[in-house]
Each structure stands twice: as structure tokens, then as C-alpha cells.
Structure 1
Amino acid sequence: MGEKLKSLLAGLPVEKMKKGWLPVAGALAATAIIVALLWQNNSHYTMLFGAQQNIPVAQVVEVLGGEQIPYRVEPQSGSLMVRESDLPKARMALAAKGIRAQSPAGYELMDKEEALGISQFLQNVRFKRSLEGELAQSIMALNAVEFARVHLGISETSSFVLSNKPDSSASVVLRLRYGQELADEQVSAIVHLVAGSMPGLKPQQVRVVDQNGTLLSSDQYDLSRRQGGKAGSEAIQRMRQDTERSLANVLMPVIGSENFRVSVVPQLNFSQIEETQERFIGQPRPASESMTQENTTELLAIGIPGSLSNRPVNPPASKEEDESAKPQATRNQAQRKFHYDRDVRHIRHPGFQLEKMSVAVVLNQNSPVVKAWTAKQREQVEVMLVQAAGIDAERGDILTMTMLSFSEVEPHVEPDVPWWERQTVIDWSKRGGIALLVTVITLFGLLPMLRRIGRRTEKPATAKMQASVPAPSGSDEDGESDGQATSLPVGSFQGEENLPPSSSGLETKIAFLQTLAQSETDRVAEVIKQWISSNERSSSRK
């Protein structure tokens, strides 16, 4: 009988009894399924329209909702995204409703066929529209710009008007993305982009406005003033940080970082000054010299023009009177030019001149180190701070050192939040929910399925074992066959009192083992061992 039981034990599905791995395998399978579903939901989404295409979002969302097409909104750019499999269906539905992406038309307007006899005015309008569209597309290439529209005011040339011609101008209207802003450099880039695309258009004639009506291009053409103001703020901040760092490096090793505070206020002169200096060097040197000398002895013409002038001159009375009446004239003239050696200098000041600096240092008088200072040590510390900050008394710099009591820093008390609203509780609740979901799927989904599969594989094996075991030929003393004992009550194994008697037939024990294997698989091996041991004891008694 022992050999028969061993063969029966070898034929039973012992692997099913070792089912400790089933929960682990079920949990892994459920986790893999959940991850696959999440990955399936998050992937294979594509943009419905391009980033630079203007679409009526409200109408598109209404159409997609009516067609039951799932969609998502990309959080950074705000673009609508649908699944790749639903992309043709979504575009067909939008086309049927007459909703199309609108992008500014550029030079493709010039590709249209022109009717014969089109006027020059219409050609100019078409060229202007194409140029505006190209500029709008270029501006929309910026990440912060969602849509742009450009208006050009082109000054027309005329052969009859040569002066007082109005300048060309341009206006740009921008619609920025949600939460985006344009820096000053970006606005300046847009201004110069538009100005550089049209001959004769100056940056001062370009205006940029956003969707809120804010003029973004105010004073954009004055780059020197804008850059100077920005550089001035950076210079003040840098000087303040350098001075505070220098003072902190001196005080921190002495009294600690919590026992002092420093405040620095520099005053800078940002006026840009240009001056030209000219100096004369050494003694003057003659550069040129001219002299003129003139002598005149002729008689001067005197008298009144008329008939009396033609009368002959009376002869002189004597020789002496003649010599005294003879005219004489002499003139001398001299001119000299001197040049000096000159030194001409053109000086341009940068505009960052420190006029005054005020420094305030507060020390904690409750600090043990500060309390132990004497008056002489305080003076030494103050002199050290003056040198560390670079204080110049002639310039008017001031450093003030004061000792005060610091107030104790109150600890930050977070508001009392109910435990169910705490973030940690919410996070652990999510994790617990996922774990509970995996456990439920494993216990009520995977394990019953595996048990059914195991039962289906057990039935053919049990039938083969029953066919291989010979039927008993004897009967008991009452004349009844042992096969009647197959109608044992089905119940769970609780002890030896529920076991069939040792004198039962083999078929009765096999039926009991089959019933026990369906309810309590772990007990089958124990029952078989008990039967084998009882059989060995009975054989040893004999």
C-alpha cells in the first residue's frame, strides 16, 4: 500500500501546493498592466495644428467634444494635441465645420495670377500685404509671441515733390502667450527687424503694442539711455554687494554671522561728460613775416574840377619858394605772425563716478564677544571697518557703527492644517490606493483565474491515476463493498477525527484526497504522511 501511495503522491499536482509565488506574480502582472495603460494614455499624442497657426480654440474644442475625440492641451505652449490615430478624423471634422488654421499670408500672394489690365494701385497693395505677412511670420517665430500683425505705412515717391516728404512708418500688434513677457532686448529686436526690412524706415517710426494695449517700444530707439540705466543699476548693485562682502569677511570670524548687520548706500553720478582741452606749449615761434615801405614825391591833384583848373599855373616868384612847395611822402609797414605748439585732448568720462557712500554697521551688544570689548578695541574695530569699506573722508563718505540689542528670531509656525489635507497624507493615500487596487486585482482577478486553470489541468491527471489503480475485489464482514465509502461528506480537514478510518479502501482514500486538494491543498501531504506512518506502525505490530 505504501508503494501505491507514493505513486499517487507523485502523480498529484504538487506544484500547485507551492503557491507562495502566486501573489507576487499577480502583483507584478497587475503593476505591469497599470504601467502599460498609463503609458498608452500618455503617448502617441501629436499636435493638431502648428505652433505658428492661428486657430479659434473655443470652436475647435467644441467640435472635438461633439465628435467625442479625446484631446489634451500642452501646458507650456497651449497647443491642442490629439492621438495619432484620431488625427485624420479630427481634421476631417474641423474641415467639415469650416474651421481652418489661419496663418498670415506672405509672398505666396504674389504667386496668384493677375488679371489683364490690373492697376498699379492693386499691385502695390498686394506687395504691401505680402510684406506684412512675411514680417508677421518672422515675428511669430519668437517663443513668447503667439500671433502678430504688422501694418506698414509706406511713403510713396513722387517726381513732383522733392521736399517735405513724410517718412515711412510701421505698427506691430502682438498677442503674447499666457504667462509670457518680452524683454527689452526682444522688443528692440522686433523694432530693428521691421525697420531693416523696409528701405528708409527708421527705428523711431516703429511702434510695438501688445494685446493689452501697452506700448512696448517706448524709447526703444534710444539705446544708449536704456542701456546706461540698466548698467547703472547693475553697477550700484555690484558695488553694494562687494562692500557688504568685504565687511562681512572682517566681522564674521570675530563675532559670528548672526551678530551683525551691514547696509551700504552708494551714490553714483551717471552723467556722461565729454570735454576737449587745448594747451599752448613753450614760447611762440614766428611763422611768417612781411614788410612794406613806400615813398611818394608827386604833386597831389588839388582844386575844383572845372574851367579854372585848365588855366596855366602862375610861375613861382623865386627859387626858394619853389623848393619849399615841392611835395614829399614816406610810408613804412611791417607784419609778423607767431605760432604756438598746441596739445588738444578729447576726453569722454564713462559716467560712473562715486560721489558718496554711506555705510551703517549694527552689532549685537548681547553677544559675549561684543560685551567684552573695551573702548580702545571698539575704536580699533571701527578703524578696521573704515579701511575695509574704502571710506574716503575727503569725498564725504560716512561709516556709522552702532551696538544694539538684537531681537530673538521667532520660529516659523506653520498653520494648523487638518490631517486629511496634508500633502504627505494625500501622497500616501494615493500610494495606498494604488497598492489596494493592485491587491484587489490580484486576489479577485488573477488568483481565481489561475485556480480555474489548475483545476482544468487536474481533472485529466486524476482520471488517469484512477484508471491506473486496480479496483478492490474483497468486501467487508457485512458483505458490503468498500466502494460505498466514496460518499464521504465533503468538509475541511480539522483533525484526525475527520479522516476516513485506516481500514477504508483505496478508492475511499483517493476520493478524500481529491476533495481535500480542492479545499486545503497544503494538508494533502500531511495526511499522506500520517497514513504512511500509521501503516508502518500497524505492520511493525504484526
Structure 2
Amino acid sequence: MAEIAEQGNNLRQNRVRESMERFRELPTNKRTLLYVGLAAIAALVIGTALWMREPTWKVLFSNVSDKDGGQITTALQQMNVPYELSPGGTIAVPAEKVYETRLKLASQGLPKASGVGFELMDNQKFGISQFAEQVNYQRSVEGELARTIQALSTVEAARVHLAIPKNSVFLREQQKPTASVVLNLNPGRLIDATQIHGIMNLVSSAVPGLPPRNITIVDQEGNLLSSMGELNQQNQNGLDQRQLTYVKEIEQTYIKRIETILEPIFGKGNARAEVTAELDFAQREQTSENYTPNSPPNAAAIRSQQMHESTEREPIGPGGVPGALSNQPPNAAAAPITLPPGTQAGITANGQAAPDKSSKKDSTVNYEVDRTIQHTKLPVGAIKRVSAAVVVNYKKKVDNNGESKFVPLTQQELGQINNLVKEAMGYNPTRGDTLNVVNAAFADNTARPALEQRAIDFVTENIFDIAKWGLLLLVLLYLIFGIIRPIVREVINPPVPEEEYPDGPAIEGEELTGEEGDEVVDDVELQRREYAANLEAAREIIRNDPRMAAQIIKEWISDE
């Protein structure tokens, strides 16, 4: 066994020596091509490693003036921070150092183009004039306002100019301050009327006596923006944007109601709804006064009551000598009078005629007027009208052959769906609501799975990086399998004579040498060559020591 192992080692050493000899016998052009291929592979590997180690640059500052840019680059050189300059005043540094570098530059007061604030008032000289002090104060206010406006996400830079007139003792000569604001918006960002209105109120609140209408705002293109804020200011409640948002919320609520009730019947994605809602955002207040006519006396409340009663009596008739006047009979009584017993009518107890008596009663009652005063404030955003459109896919039906197909709904089914949607949306014909339900076949646009969609999005976003790495990989594979591998195989696996194959004739093309020997040999050919080499080694061992070979064969047979 030891001799067999030794002979195997000798055989491998011989094959290595033969390979080295065949390599030296290669033509010069093949050896040069091999060297160039190996050098190209090494260069690609080293270049890829350096490329991957290259830092990812991130913007440190943009739109920097030349003066500030020079100071920033000088500070970066002193801090040993690599940087890149791009057109437009953009300075980029490695991504892992951007925040640390900003803090260090901010401690040095860079960049300075953002303007000065109230720190300008900290270093005033003693004995400064009142005019200079007023100018410094105005500059400080302008700088602070600019910094505050720059804090908005849509604003990249801002400049504020204030025109503050001198105070006058005469009321007619007093003037209001004015202000001008220049906004440099971020690329691709828009500013809406609400934000403009907020900037106008911000500047107005920071300067005493400055009304919002005296503020002019323009962008970097010279477009007047303050007119948008004035239009928004005319709406006292600022409901423009809120109205749109509220209408969308109402419509989405109706859509969700309709689709939620139809999805269990037709399946997800087989029913679609769109709703248009008309809302009334007018502010109305209503006052009404109602009177109840002819209320019963006992049901009405008494406001005031006045009673007056009066009684009058005639004087007793004259006495003395009877005459024509005294013999007249008394007047008839208005009501029966009950006299004491033994007394005649018209005769008093003492024998005289009773005087005449009259009484008068007046009663005045004033009742409260039964009226109702009602003050109603109508709600803002009441729904005036709702229009809904619903489209439903054909239903799936399985025929007698077991095949599924889509068929339209019947009129009865459409009527049921129509009634169902009306109940879901709160259909009110009084306010003019409309509903249209249509049954149609949906296009077969099957949505992609989420994983597949994410993969497509990833490829779309990184198409250039994928193309670069793919091209690099193709070049590397060509160098390895198109140049290096054929030459190496020609050196390691020499052509085998035809008589060494035990199974038949030699494979076509195995005798090719020189420039024709760079053809790729398949796996079957490699196995047959290895088998031939092993067979030649076994034959050589049998020729040198037949007894040992016979002993080895006996051991193999006994093991089986």
C-alpha cells in the first residue's frame, strides 16, 4: 500500500512537471493573453474593493456664497475632512461626518450668509449714536425674522427688509411700517396660501404697528405671493383648505360604506364606488317670533288687573208743609229691596222716604301676549346633495362541465344591490340624491403580489447600480471562462492518444494542439482522461511488481 501511495505521489509530481513543461512550450501569444487576463482580473478585484471603500457623499451646505464657501472649505481643510464642490455652491462631505461637521462649523459661525440676529446687539460700543443703535436693532429684527422663516420645511433661505418710519407728534403725519420678504423655496416644493398667510401674520406680530396688508412677499422667481395670503385672510375662518379636506373625508366615508357592504357578496376588488358630495359651508343665523292667537282666559298669564267700584246715594226729600212737590210718589226701585218688617217701601224707619242709591263697578285685566322667539344658528358644512356611482363585476358561475365563467347579474339582483346601496349611503330623495348602479365585466388586471411589486420597485430605483455591477460581473466571467480557463486546461490536461481510451475511439477534437487546443473540454472528456491516467498507473504497477498486484486483488476479493 505504501508503495502504491508513493507511486501515486510520483505520478502527480510527474504531471506537475509535465504541466510546467507544456506551459513553457505554449506560444508567446497565449502566455501573453494569460498574463493579461490575470492582470485584468486582479485590477478588477482591486478596483472594486477601492470603489466599495469610497465614501458616500452627502450635502453639507447648498447655495453657499463664494465668501462663505471659501471660509467653509478652509475650515474643512483644517479639520482634515474631505469634501467635494459642485456647481451651485454645493459642498458635500462623507455621510458619516455631515452632522458632526455642521456642529463644528456652526460653533465657528459658519455659514454667515443667513444674516445676523440679536447677537449684533451684544457687542455695541460705548457711546454709539442713537441712529446707529436703531439701525443695528432693525438689522437684528430682520435677521431673526429671516431665521424663523427659514425654519419652515418649504423655505430654503429668506431675507427680510423692514421700513420703519420715524414717529411723529402729529397724528396726520404718522405712517405705518412696511416689510418686504424674499423667499428661496426648496427645489420641487410649493408654498400654499395658508403658509403665506402665516408668514404675513408672523412678520406683522414681530413689528409694532405693522398691518399684514403692508407686507410684500415674493419668491426667487419674482412671483408675488402676498396676494395669496390676502385672499386667504379675507376668509375669516380660514376654511378653504379645511373645506376640501372635509369634503374628501365625507366622500371617502360614503365610498367605504358602499364597498364594505358589497365586498362580502362579490369579493374584494369586484365592486367599485365613487361619491360626490355637495356641502353647504355658508354661515346662517335665523330668528323667528311666533304669536299664539286667542288663548283661553284661564290659560293665559295675567300681566295686570285693575278694578274700580263707585256708589252714589240721593239726599233725603224735604219735610214741612205738604204741598205739590212733597206729595209726589217715590221713584221705582231698580231692584227689590228687602225692608225691615213693619216698614213700607220708600219710607225709612223714622217715617221718612228712603234716598235713591246707584253703584258702578269697572274691571280691567291685561293678559301677557303668548309669543315664542327662536334664534337658530345653522350648522356649517351641511350635506346638500349626494351623488353615487357604483360598478359591480359580473358574477362567477360554474357550468355543468365544471368550467367557471362570468355572467351578468339579473335585473332582480341589480334591484337588490340598488336598494342595499341606498340603505348604506342614507339615500334621501328629498334633497336630490342620485344613485347609479352598473353591472359590467372588469378587465383582468390581476394585481401583482406585494413581494413582486417590491422587487420591481427595487430594480427600478437601483437600475443604474445594477447595470454597473452586472457589466463588471460579465467582464470578470469572460476573463475567467473565456481566456484563463481554456489555457489552463490545455496546460493541465494534455491530449490523450486514441489507443488509451478503453471504450472506443478518441473524442473528436482531442488531438488539437497549438492554437486549436483552446477549445473547452466537457466534463465527460475530463472523466475519461482521468480514467485513462489511472489505468496507465495501474498497468505500470503490475509490470513492475506482479506479486504485489495479485496480493492486492486477493484482498479486494476477500473484502467483498
**TM-score, length of structure 1 as denominator length:** 0.52
**What amino acid is aligned across from residue 149 of structure 1 in structure 2?**
R
Q: Residue 168 in 1 paired to residue 213 in 2?
A: no
Counterpart selection for 1:149 from 159, 164, 167: 159
Counterpart selection for 1:237 from 240, 248, 256: 248
How big is the shift at 1:42?
Answer: 2.6
Q: 8 Å contact 2:196–2:225 — kept in the other structure?
A: yes
List per-residue Cα deviations over 1:93-129 (Å, max 9, x = no partner). Answer: xxxxxx986332333443555485x543333222212
Q: Residue 352 in 1 paired to residue 381 in 2?
A: yes
**What amino acid is aligned across from residue 6 of structure 1 in structure 2?**
E
DSSP 3-state at the match of 1:165: coil
1:126-205 → structure 2 map (5 Å cutoff): 126-158=136-168, 160-162=169-171, 165-205=174-214
Question: Whole-Å Cα distance in 2 between the matches of residues 111 and 213 of structure 1?
Answer: 35
Classify 1:360/1:429 alpha carbon distance in 2 versus 1 (closer, same or farther; 3 Å).
closer
Give the structure 1 partner of residue 473 of structure 2: 435
Give the structure 1 partner of residue 336 of structure 2: none
Classify 1:395/1:7 alpha carbon distance in 2 versus 1 (closer, same or farther; 3 Å).
closer
Q: 8 Å contact 2:138–2:162 — kept in the other structure?
A: yes
How big is the shift at 1:388?
Answer: 2.9
Q: 8 Å contact 1:30–1:441 — kept in the other structure?
A: no
Q: 8 Å contact 1:5–1:528 — kept in the other structure?
A: no
Q: 8 Å contact 1:30–1:438 — kept in the other structure?
A: no
Classify 1:338/1:149 alpha carbon distance in 2 versus 1 (closer, same or farther; 3 Å).
farther
How big is the shift at 1:133?
Answer: 1.7
Counterpart selection for 1:36 from 49, 72, 76: 49
Give the structure 1 partner of residue 424 of structure 2: 388
**What amino acid is aligned across from residue 377 of structure 2 in structure 1?**
R
DSSP 3-state at the match of 1:102: coil
DSSP 3-state at the match of 1:394: helix
DSSP 3-state at the match of 1:271: coil
Q: Residue 215 in 1 paired to residue 251 in 2?
A: no
Give the structure 1 partner of residue 411 of structure 2: 373
Number of residue pairs aligned between Structure 1 and Structure 2: 386
**What amino acid is aligned across from residue 122 of structure 1 in structure 2?**
A
Question: Whole-Å Cα distance in 1 between the matches of residues 285 and 133 of structure 2?
Answer: 51
1:329-478 → structure 2 map (5 Å cutoff): 347-361=376-390, 368-370=407-409, 372-374=410-412, 381-400=417-436, 406=440, 409=443, 430-439=468-477
How big is the shift at 1:147?
Answer: 1.8
**What amino acid is aligned across from residue 434 of structure 1 in structure 2?**
L
DSSP 3-state at the match of 1:42: coil
How big is the shift at 1:242?
Answer: 2.8
Q: Residue 71 in 1 paired to residue 84 in 2?
A: yes
Question: Whole-Å Cα distance in 1 between the matches of residues 203 and 236 of structure 2?
Answer: 21
How big is the shift at 1:270?
Answer: 0.8
Classify 1:399/1:492 alpha carbon distance in 2 versus 1 (closer, same or farther; 3 Å).
closer
Give the structure 2 partner of residue 107 of structure 1: 118
**TM-score, length of structure 2 as denominator length:** 0.51
How big is the shift at 1:527?
Answer: 7.8
Question: Whole-Å Cα distance in 1 between the matches of residues 233 and 305 of structure 2?
Answer: 50
**What amino acid is aligned across from residue 140 of structure 2 in structure 1?**
S
DSSP 3-state at the match of 1:196: helix
Q: 8 Å contact 1:269–1:353 — kept in the other structure?
A: yes
Give the structure 2 partner of residue 91 of structure 1: none
DSSP 3-state at the match of 1:54: coil
List per-residue Cα deviations over 1:263-311 (Å, max 9, x = no partner). Answer: 533322110123456789996676999xxxxxxxxxxxxxxxxxxxxxx
**What amino acid is aligned across from residue 350 of structure 1 in structure 2?**
P
How big is the shift at 1:150?
Answer: 0.3
**What amino acid is aligned across from residue 84 of structure 2 in structure 1?**
Y
List per-residue Cα deviations over 1:500-520 (Å, max 9, x = no partner). Answer: xxxxxxxxxxxxxxxxxxxxx
Counterpart selection for 2:545 from 524, 536, 539: 536
List per-residue Cα deviations over 1:398-428 (Å, max 9, x = no partner). Answer: 445567xx4774989xxxxxxxxx9899888
Question: Whole-Å Cα distance in 1 between the matches of residues 380 and 220 of structure 2?
Answer: 38
Give the structure 2 partner of residue 228 of structure 1: 239
Question: Whole-Å Cα distance in 2 between the matches of residues 388 and 440 of structure 1?
Answer: 66
Q: 8 Å contact 2:145–2:160 — kept in the other structure?
A: yes
Q: Gaps spanning 5+ residues in structure 2: where? A: 18-38, 75-81, 99-109, 293-298, 307-364, 396-405, 447-458, 486-492, 501-529, 551-560
Classify 1:8/1:259 alpha carbon distance in 2 versus 1 (closer, same or farther; 3 Å).
closer
Question: Whole-Å Cα distance in 1 between the matches of residues 393 and 177 of structure 2?
Answer: 66
Question: Whole-Å Cα distance in 2 between the matches of residues 28 and 190 of structure 1?
Answer: 61
Q: Percent identity?
A: 26
Question: Whole-Å Cα distance in 2 between the matches of residues 138 and 259 of structure 1?
Answer: 51
Classify 1:168/1:446 alpha carbon distance in 2 versus 1 (closer, same or farther; 3 Å).
farther
How big is the shift at 1:173?
Answer: 0.6
How big is the shift at 1:178?
Answer: 1.4
Classify 1:4/1:275 alpha carbon distance in 2 versus 1 (closer, same or farther; 3 Å).
closer
Question: Whole-Å Cα distance in 2 between the matches of residues 134 and 223 of structure 1?
Answer: 28
Q: 8 Å contact 1:277–1:346 — kept in the other structure?
A: yes
Q: 8 Å contact 2:275–2:386 — kept in the other structure?
A: yes
**What amino acid is aligned across from residue 154 of structure 2 in structure 1?**
A
532-541 or 229-238, which deviates more: 532-541
DSSP 3-state at the match of 1:142: coil
**What amino acid is aligned across from residue 141 of structure 1 in structure 2?**
A
DSSP 3-state at the match of 2:229: coil
Question: Whole-Å Cα distance in 2 between the matches of residues 355 and 4 of structure 1?
Answer: 103
How big is the shift at 1:6?
Answer: 3.4
Q: Residue 264 in 1 paired to residue 275 in 2?
A: yes
How big is the shift at 1:154?
Answer: 2.1
Question: Whole-Å Cα distance in 2 between the matches of residues 59 and 409 of structure 1?
Answer: 58
**What amino acid is aligned across from residue 117 of structure 2 in structure 1?**
G
Name the Cα RMSD after superposition: 6.1
How big is the shift at 1:28?
Answer: 12
Classify 1:157/1:525 alpha carbon distance in 2 versus 1 (closer, same or farther; 3 Å).
farther
Question: Whole-Å Cα distance in 2 between the matches of residues 5 and 398 of structure 1?
Answer: 97
